[in-house]
Structure 1
Amino acid sequence: SVTMRVVIFGPTGGTGRRLVERAIAEGHDVTAFVRNPSRMSARHERLKVVVGDAFDPGQVREAVAGNEAVISVLGSRQPSNPLHPRRPGDPHGVVSAGAANIVAAMKEHGLRRFVCQTAWGVGESKQDPGLAGAFFMNVLVPPLLRDEYADKEAQEKTVRESDLEWIIVRPMILTNGPWTNDYRARVDLKPGRRPYISRANVADFLMRQLVDDTFVRDTPAIGY
């Protein structure tokens, strides 16, 4: 299998931690870009931890330099979401600002493959959403996730307008379930009776996108 030098933005989140584990297990050289190194528990000879702020273009440029591909699973705790309240110092809009800085850094250093996670319900995926999807978008998103989704919309716009080999991955509702490999990935996938996907399965799919061209410049949704 192909091994690469890959930089991961958002490596301390639920999906990010699993992504780092998978990347190391598959033999890749990993650069983990973290704002708070105390939240980064993984240690490995092929793991380099870079402390920086995704809002800082220079720090993003330095992290991207010398790598071959980028995966972003940046997340933001937004003020409108009481389930994940913002901690003091949590930045607002880091997902879209980070995407803009990553795109610029990749262009400067000549990298092509950019895999990034947003969410089902961003962009055109919310059109004709089906029953479960309509409940999610009309009942849950407005009070809980409004700012988070606005940030992800801006992120997708920035990535889509770049000429990189981008792949935007839109998971259903994330769980902490195991890696089962029984998920589906389609651009037109709608939430069904199980509108979920485990973070471990998302990490699996994100890793596959480093070398698979099926969804280049497309927006696969993943779920069961």
Structure 2
Amino acid sequence: MKLLLLGATGRVGQHLLKLALAEGHEVTALVRAPDKLPQAEERLTIIEGNVLEAAKLMAATQGADAVLSALNTDGGELLSQAAPLLIETMNQCGMKRIITIGTAGILDSTAEPGLLRYQSSESRRTLTRAAEEHHRFYLALAQSGLDWTIVCPTYLPDGEYTGVYRIARNRLPEEGKQISVPDTAEFAFQQLQSTDFLAARVGIAY
């Protein structure tokens, strides 16, 4: 499979890259800092640029079968600005499948039905800007017609790989407190071969 990986130099993105290469996939990584990636991988193509550069994004998307995105908010409006361009580019390339890493804040609130967690008393964060950005990205995907899945970890320490965790559709598993980066990456990567969570947010936690 040919994959476009966004956010490849981030914590989750680095694990996604390792998993994809270990499984024999061909990966194109669109990154701002190519020097942070391995340079001698035969199946890795590195394109220097960012997701807001239309020509670079189109070049990276050509021939890909699916998108793995570990993009974060970058402290601003990267996700909401990137969403329409990414969706348009995928449509132009005839690609449907996208798996992204979100945040538990955009999962449905259990305590206050009709709200998302970041909008409810379930959130302990005083600042909601990052969650609002992920929310806008989620809404764009939900209206896109693409085959999307958003993996939504709660507190995300680097941690160790365990391979044992709980998941829930559109909600955080009950009493879920944290999940490691490698376990989050593994579950997201597995979704390439699964249709269980199409058009869904997936809460993941121990």
Instruction: Give the structure-2-normalised TM-score.
Output: 0.89
Structure 1 172/26 Cα, relative in aligned 2: closer, same or farther at 3 Å?
Answer: same
For structure 1, the residue ranges without an aligned partner over 5 or more in a row are 79-91
Structure 1 212/188 Cα, relative in aligned 2: closer, same or farther at 3 Å?
Answer: same
CA contact (8 A) 1:171 1:202 kept: yes
Give the equivalent residue in structure 2 for 1:51.
48
Equivalent runs, 1:142-153 vs 2, <5 Å: 142-143=126-127, 146-153=128-135
Give the equivalent residue in structure 2 for 1:204.
186
Residue 194 of structure 1, CA deviation: 4.9
Give the equivalent residue in structure 2 for 1:19.
16
CA contact (8 A) 2:32 2:50 kept: yes
The aligned amino acid for 1:102 is L
Structure 1 135/199 Cα, relative in aligned 2: closer, same or farther at 3 Å?
Answer: farther
Residue 74 of structure 1, CA deviation: 0.2
The runs of at least 4 aligned residues of structure 1 exceeding 6 Å deviation read: 132-135
Cα distance in 2 for residues equivalent to 1:193 and 1:161: 30
Cα distance in 2 for residues equivalent to 1:100 and 1:171: 24
CA contact (8 A) 1:172 1:191 kept: no
Equivalent runs, 1:19-168 vs 2, <5 Å: 19-41=16-38, 43-78=40-75, 92-122=76-106, 124-128=107-111, 137=123, 139-140=124-125, 142-143=126-127, 146-168=128-150
Does 2:171 correspond to 1:174? no
Residue 43 of structure 1, CA deviation: 4.1
Residue 27 of structure 1, CA deviation: 1.0
**More moved, 39-48 vs 104-113:** 39-48
CA contact (8 A) 1:54 1:97 kept: no
Task: Give 3-state SS (helix, strand or coil) of 1:197's partner.
Answer: coil
Give the equivalent residue in structure 2 for 1:223.
205
Cα distance in 2 for residues equivalent to 1:192 and 1:213: 23
The aligned amino acid for 2:92 is E
Structure 1 43/223 Cα, relative in aligned 2: closer, same or farther at 3 Å?
Answer: farther
Cα distance in 1 for residues equivalent to 2:186 and 2:78: 24
CA contact (8 A) 1:120 1:126 kept: no
> Root-mean-square deviation (CA), in Å?
2.2
Cα distance in 2 for residues equivalent to 1:163 and 1:14: 29
Q: What's the % identity of the aligned pairs?
A: 27
Number of positions where the alignment pairs a residue of Structure 1 with one of Structure 2? 202
For structure 2, the residue ranges without an aligned partner over 5 or more in a row are none
Does 2:177 correspond to 1:195? yes
**Deviations for 1:26-56, whole angstroms, at most 9, x for unmatched residues?**
1111111101223334641111111112112
**Deviations for 1:76-103, whole angstroms, at most 9, x for unmatched residues?**
342xxxxxxxxxxxxx211222222221
